[in-house]
Structure 1
Amino acid sequence: MTPQLGIIADDFTGALLVAGVLEGAGITAPVFFDAASVKGEGAVLVLATRSRLVPVEEARDLIREGAEALDRAGARRLAYKACASFDSTEEGNIGLAAELLSDRAGGRPVLMSAGFPRFNATVHQGYLFYRGRLVSESVKRFDPLTPMSDPDVVRFLSRQTRSPVSLLSHLKLLGGLAAARAEWDRLTAGGARHVLADASDDGDVALSVELALAVEPVVVASDPLIIGYATALARNAAQPGPTRAPRRINGPGAVLVGSVGPTAEAQIAGFAAEGHEILTLDLLEGAPEPAAVARALAWAAPRIGARPFAIATTAAPDAVERVQAALGQTGAARKAERLLSGIGAGLRERGIRRLVVSGGETSGAVVAALGAQKVRALPETPHGSGFCVTEGETPMALFLKSGKLGADDVFARALELMGDP
């Protein structure tokens, strides 16, 4: 089959969310973790990258390699999937992706869309709201890696692009496709290369999907527009029914937590309240990282096969501040990823077959350490998307989740869903 769309996702959890929704709709959407492994074997191809938070030059290489791989695999169109709140810094990397993909398409204009109304992340008149408040007045104002102090998405993204970003407002989208297309034509005829569409509600997103199908722009967007666009493109593509990956994998389970913040703290507390043991790693410990990994695995070894346990780098807010003051925000995050990825690989070698990983960047690091190149996402569950099964003679069930999403009991419920009834 000819892939109708190739999606470059900026992190692993977002890639699985999109693929899980598509698979649930009967659309084959394999997820690849390595550009070299991409093959044209689905209606939609999803390449999971770690381009969200890496330095600009590294992100440029990842996105370019991804675009080239998806082109080679025969994808008819390309899109870049960013997280719902368009988490980034003033240096990038969302604007970078828009510029690069537009250049590859001969300067074709870019349709951008942030937000995820279903999860109370919306964009109205160009301003981003998170849980009903301007993002600059929400908990994301103090995000340790991408603090969001400017709610004006148009202004913020314009700092990442060579030319300013224009706005296709909710008021124009209310007028229907003809009005939206007329405004698009006016803006692009006037030289606009990047146009951000409001996402005040699901109606705005649905209209933006119609517009994307009509004008065939480069698409750089968050989950709902990417999902709607991919679904529409694949709907009429002839394809055999997907072969479902097994939903349940037998074997011991564990949880790795690299995310920080109140959601992660509540989920760890909820897991502990059900009687599960937690090992918290001290990122300021002076021991060499291989020794810290070895100690964690020694702690885990006698517990494998008994009750699932968790290993976390999450700490109380004051401890997080101390770690970041000593190591820097990026340095602290990277150290946590190195430790947990090493532990993840060691747990697999010791028999773990069901693994929950909390944190988008942590998920990327752990998957790389596991050597997984391709997975099939499982359809969305009441506990969210992010469930997948690796390929190979000894498959693993994984649940890769955003650190900011999920109920307090998500770790235990996810492990139950992955294993035997």
Structure 2
Amino acid sequence: MTGSATRALLGCIADDFTGATDLANMLVRGGMRTVQTIGVPSSSEPLEADALVVALKSRTIPVRDAVTQALAALEWLRAQGCRQFFFKYCSTFDSTDAGNIGPVADALLDALCGADAQAFTIACPAFPENGRTLYRGHLFVGDVLLNESGMEHHPLTPMTDANLVRVLQRQTESKVGLVRYDKVAQGAEAVRVSFAALQQDGVRMAIADAVCDADLHTLGTACANLKLVTGGSGLALGLPDNFRRAGLLATTANAAQLPKVEGLSAVLAGSASKATNAQVAAWRDASRPAFRIDPLAIARGAPVVEEVLAFAREYAVTGQPVLIYATATPDEVKVVQRELGAEHAGELVEKTLAAIAQGLRDLGVRKFVVAGGETSGAVVQALDVRMLRIGAQIDPGVPATATTGDAPFALALKSGNFGATDFFAKALRHLEGAAA
């Protein structure tokens, strides 16, 4: 088999949409032609790609549903001929004590390894390029521990413990261990020896330390023979070369090539993260057109969608991009959640932004920048996006993408925590300049 074959080598399952594009971005950077599907495709016809990424919307749904979706994705990827599998979650390990990272990883291991006593995988959400590093099992965001980074205020998955060995152990009955940094620093062979020792001790999942990209390459090399790998997108840096060394992957010069998309542009932001708040502020400070959605107004039955589309229509005449946002500070989010409930407030915003996306499409918008994993999921579903080709990186963890078919959309789907302060303007420039 070579890199020109239709049968994919690496099959990936991501627990949200922006996480999927983040992972796909890493694989494209590694020279793998990558296709991302939105949900599990109904067709088993082989796709022309080296890597396939199934984007689920399972991060915060009930555990049983998350497991069911992941296993369905695994079945489809196995039918595509994939040789190794990757379960991708957020670089801040977004989860609760109930899951869903541990239960999904357990289910995938069971499906791939059966009753094999040697079933083993690692968990490494490190992404040094975006400031996420792991040392002695503790996750840092920049210079602070995870539980001091602002993630402790996350409305759905508050991360109050930076020790990921403890966090993951609370989610699974499998024994959780640690691949310490002193082993990682010694290279791939030392890591493989550490894997074997952990397995002998009954460990089924191990948090793996990593503080720089070189560590991710080391871990990737050490994972060459694991059926399942789990982690953030950074861990994917070290996987393509495994297939290349095995003679299965050819060097692809145009792995990031996308079609040029004509039409209007818009930005939709639903994330309440610090990064997205700063990006919204930068857009407004530049006196660009912006419309803020108020969840309380939606709940009162105000015609918010109609008001937004009337606002967008004014600027469509000149082709000026608009920002529609529900982004708010943590204190503002708490006020809304106290009145509406966290889950209901989130659903209202998602449904509203989905309806707005459909209205913008009807106005001629074909280039969308979307901030927030849940928001991205709602928008791509509203636009009936089924499959994405992955292009070049805009900012670390965020690639340009384009839908397949005769009338494509250009999309930049951004995790709430990712992107520079000027990301929105930068992403629009990138989507405008996509080469045919």
TM-score (ref. length: structure 1):
0.93
Residue 72 of structure 2 aligns with an amino acid whose one-letter code is E
- For 2:310, give the aligned amino acid: A
- The aligned runs of 1:239-254 (5 Å cut-off) are 241=252, 245-246=257-258, 248-254=260-266
Residue 360 of structure 1 pairs with residue 373 of structure 2: yes
Shift, 1:48, TM fit: 1.0
Partner of 1:193: 204
For structure 2, list consecutive stretches of 5 or more residues without a partner in the other structure: none
Q: Distance in 1 between matches of 2:198 and 2:258?
A: 48
Q: Residue 394 of structure 2: which of 365, 381, 384 is its match?
A: 381
Higher mean C-alpha deviation, range 136-145 or range 6-15: 136-145
3-state DSSP of counterpart to 1:381: strand
Amino acid at match of 1:227: L
2:66 equivalent to 1:54: no
- 1:346 aligns to what? 359
Name the SS for the 1:356 alignment partner. strand
Taking the aligned partners of 2:414 and 2:90, their CA distance within structure 1 comes to 13
Distance 1:232 1:341 in 2: 40
Matches within 5 A, 1:225-244: 225-233=235-243, 236-238=247-249, 241=252
Deviations 1:241-300 (A, max 9, x none): 557643542221111010113322221121122232111111012557694323322332
Equivalent AA in structure 2 for residue 5 of structure 1: L
Shift of 1:158: 0.5
Once residues 238 and 141 of structure 1 are traced to their aligned partners in structure 2, the CA distance between those partners, rounded to angstroms, is 41
Q: Which residue identity is paired with 2:189?
A: A
Output the amino acid matched with 1:219: V
Q: Which moved more, 1:270-279 or 1:171-180?
A: 171-180
Return the match for 2:148 from 137, 144, 147. 137
Code of the aligned partner of 1:344:
A
What is the 5 A alignment of 1:311-322? 311-322=324-335
CA RMSD of aligned residues (A): 2.2
CA apart distance, 1:308: 0.8
Q: Note if contact 1:24-1:378 (Cα within 8 Å) is conserved in structure 2.
A: no
SS at match of 2:394: coil
Instruction: Tell me the distance in 1 between the aligned counterparts of 2:41 and 2:426.
Output: 34
Q: How does 1:232-311 map to 2 (within 5 A)?
A: 232-233=242-243, 236-238=247-249, 241=252, 245-246=257-258, 248-285=260-297, 291-306=303-318, 307-311=320-324
2:234 counterpart residue number: 224
Match of 2:10 in 1: 5
3-state DSSP class of the match of 1:147? coil
* Equivalent residue, structure 1, for 2:185: 174
> How far apart are the structure 2 equivalents of 1:209 and 1:311?
39
Q: CA deviation at 1:229?
A: 1.6
SS in 1 for 2:295: coil
Q: Distance in 2 between matches of 1:217 and 1:71?
A: 12
Task: Please state if 1:152 is matched with 2:163.
Answer: yes
Identity %: 35
Secondary structure of 1:392's aligned partner = coil
**SS state at 2:168 partner:** helix
| Gap regions ≥5 residues in structure 1 | none
1:98-123 superposed Cα distances (whole Å, 9 cap, x missing partner): 10111012142122212112222111
The SS at the match of 1:115 is coil
Deviation at 1:305, TM superposition (A): 4.0
Q: CA deviation at 1:42?
A: 1.0
1:7 shift after superposition:
0.4
Name 1:36's counterpart in structure 2.
41
CA offset at residue 231 of structure 1?
A: 4.4
Shift in CA distance, 335/294, structure 1 to aligned 2, threshold 3 Å: same
Q: Deviations over 1:105-142 (max 9, x none)?
A: 21421222121122221111111111111111222222
Identify if the C-alpha distance between structure 1 residues 187 and 289 changes in structure 2 by more than 3 Å, giving closer, same or farther: farther
Structure 2 Cα separation of the partners of residues 174 and 240 of structure 1: 28
1:251 touches 1:419 (CA, 8 Å); kept in 2?
no
Q: 1:52 to 1:46 in 2, by over 3 A?
A: same
Secondary structure, in 3 states, of the residue corresponding to 2:28?
A: helix
- Post-superposition shift, 1:11? 1.4
Q: Secondary structure at the match of 2:165?
A: helix
**Is 1:40–1:75's contact at 8 Å kept on the other side of the alignment?**
no
Partner of 1:88: 95
The residue aligned with 2:86 is 79
Q: 1:182 to 1:419 in 2, by over 3 A?
A: closer
Q: Distance in 2 between matches of 1:187 and 1:245?
A: 42
Aligned to 1:417: 430
Contact 2:67 2:104 in 1 (8 A): yes
